[in-house]
């Protein structure tokens, strides 16, 4: 049961761009994790740049450096 949690700066994706993004994430998850489409869930949340450090970096990234599937190439 893969769950993908995407947080990013606001990207202002159109409805079609969002559909394409979700479809791409679903396809790559199915391919690499051998998951059925029905078992995949995806959340998408845009975080304003001024809130990124407090809401995402300090709470989710910094405490998990070294345990993330990919560490960021930046520090705050």
Chain position carrying tokens 């559909």: 19
Active site residue 2: yes
Given 2, 10, 48, 72, the catalytic residue: 2
**Rounded distance between C-alpha atoms, residue 23 and residue 41, angstroms:** 11
Distances (CA, A) of 38 to 2, 20, 24, 46: 10, 17, 15, 24
Catalytic annotation, residues: 2
């Amino acid at each position: 049961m893969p769950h993908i949690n995407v947080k990013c700066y606001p990207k202002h994706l159109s409805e079609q761009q969002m559909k394409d993004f979700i479809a791409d994430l679903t396809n790559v998850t199915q391919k690499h994790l051998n998951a059925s489409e029905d078992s995949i869930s995806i959340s998408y949340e845009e975080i304003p740049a001024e809130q990124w450090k407090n809401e995402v970096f300090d709470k989710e990234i910094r405490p998990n450096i070294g345990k993330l599937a990919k560490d960021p190439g930046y520090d705050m």
